[in-house]
Structure 1
Amino acid sequence: MAKVYPNYPAIDSSACSGSPPSLLLAGDGAETVMTVWRKSLLFNCKGFTVFDGKGNLLFRVDNYSSTSNGEIVLMDASGKSLLTVRRKRLSLGENWLIYHGDEAAKPRFSVKKHVSILPSKELARMTASRGLGGRPSYSVEGSYSQRRCTVFDGLRRPIVEVRHKEAASGVALGGDVFRLVVLPGFDASLAMAMVIALEQMFQ
């Protein structure tokens, strides 16, 4: 079996909170390629484990309870809260809000599932909250369940892609392991928060 997590360190199960990261950071000119594993490294937890291109643990999501799906915390490798994804209550349609750290007020982005009686490539749309750089909006198109989807900015430029991942032998690893590719200029943690929202909508 292909090795999914080559360099992950020991994990402390007690997560700690810290200062939230800035969003929409400029890149260094190279795309960020991550491997996303739909599995928590902690026993008896559901979640995600995300590695960078060198096999180092980058992000983690550990859901301790099956009833916690309405609030999902994205953490760094040490367990510090980066972003929290919460389902919006009393909303028409499926709508998820993204907050800095573990804050409970002033969401930074919303991700809303696209619903239409007409054929459409769009799966969802992520929109920034008021006061955040002119309220940029992003369209998610393709098929998340098949691990083939792309996020476009307002100028129709692809900025994030979900792709199948293959082992060195060329054999596909299945839907539980996939690549998340983030182009320069977009924040990798925000891209992963978007994946968390898509997971809740389409799995």
Structure 2
Amino acid sequence: MILFFKSISNSRKVHEQHQEHEHKLDDTFTSLTVWRKSLVISCNGFTVIDSNGNLAFRVDNYTGHPEELILMDGSGKTVLTMCRHKRLGLVDNWRVYEGEVGEQSSSKKPIFCVRKHKNILQPNMNVLARVYDDDGTSGKRCVYVIEGSYTQRFCRVLDESRRVVAEIKRKEAMVVGVSFGLEVFLLIVRPEFDPGFAMAIVLLLDQMFS
């Protein structure tokens, strides 16, 4: 499976040249290849490979719509834990914690809250979700907005000044006529944005829109 990723990551150079011309990216941006498949046969999840063909992140879920998501690094250490927060009248509200949470989710302070966009009075089909600092309760501010279409694998994460800090894009094959489809795609992260949190956003979008 890792050999498969090393082969598909060979198209990175061609893709970077196209991206640099189109978006004028910084030379230090991070390009990750995301495969919507777990390394564990009996699990749903994700496998993420960096530009050198190394395992960067992994996710193994035993259920399709879990109440808790765990993002691990390549060695299996927990990076972030995402817990679905149930509130009356609010759908798809997730709290993001550093490291492992376990039974401490009620007392441990989250670093972000990610909410699916759902506003009947102010519909905006282009907005998928919003990221709030801390737990997203009254008085907390929106720090990132996610726009685009996850089902088409074309999304942008924008900060408060509307700068794009991360993008989800389809992966282009080097061979003409060959397509990776929707299960393999690119996650492009700007230098000032954390790749782990960018991947956490991917996981939550997958829960919200798959």
**Residue identity in the other structure for 2:6:** P
Partner of 1:19: none
- Given candidates 160, 163, 178, the residue that maps to 2:169 is 163
> Unpaired runs of 5+ in structure 2?
8-25
- Given candidates 66, 78, 82, the residue that maps to 1:81 is 78
- Given candidates 53, 59, 62, the residue that maps to 1:61 is 59
- Given candidates 129, 153, 166, the residue that maps to 1:124 is 129
RMSD across aligned positions (CA)? 2.0
**Residue identity in the other structure for 2:183:** D
- Given candidates 148, 169, 172, the residue that maps to 2:154 is 148
Shift of 1:4: 4.0
Partner of 1:192: 199
**Residue identity in the other structure for 2:80:** L
**Residue identity in the other structure for 1:123:** L
CA distance in 1, matches of 2:150, 2:125: 14
Normalised to the residue count of structure 2, the TM-score between the two structures is 0.78
CA distance in 1, matches of 2:163, 2:130: 14
Shift of 1:90: 2.4
CA distance in 2, matches of 1:119, 1:102: 34
Distance 1:68 1:144, change over 3 A: closer
Asked if the contact 1:164/1:172 (under 8 Å) is kept, the reply is: no
CA distance in 1, matches of 2:127, 2:143: 13
**Residue identity in the other structure for 2:188:** V
- Given candidates 25, 28, 31, the residue that maps to 2:29 is 31
Cα deviation, 1:34-80, whole Å, max 9, x if unaligned, reads 000000111211100000011110000011x2176110100011110
CA distance in 1, matches of 2:180, 2:49: 15
Q: Matched residue of 2:148: which SS?
A: strand
Cα deviation, 1:140-174, whole Å, max 9, x if unaligned, reads 00000100010000000000000000222143201
**Residue identity in the other structure for 2:132:** T
Distance 1:67 1:164, change over 3 A: closer
After superposing on structure 2, the runs of 4+ consecutive aligned residues of structure 1 that deviate more than 4 Å are none
Aligned residue-pair number:
177
Asked if the contact 1:85/1:196 (under 8 Å) is kept, the reply is: no
CA distance in 2, matches of 1:56, 1:185: 22
**Residue identity in the other structure for 1:109:** F
CA distance in 2, matches of 1:4, 1:112: 34
CA distance in 1, matches of 2:85, 2:32: 28
Normalised to the residue count of structure 1, the TM-score between the two structures is 0.81
> Unpaired runs of 5+ in structure 1?
8-27
Per mean C-alpha deviation after superposition, the further-off stretch among 114-123 and 149-158 is 114-123
Cα deviation, 1:6-44, whole Å, max 9, x if unaligned, reads 28xxxxxxxxxxxxxxxxxxxx96110000000011121
Q: Matched residue of 1:78: which SS?
A: coil
More helix by share: 2
Shift of 1:128: 1.5
- 1:174 equivalent to 2:181? Answer yes
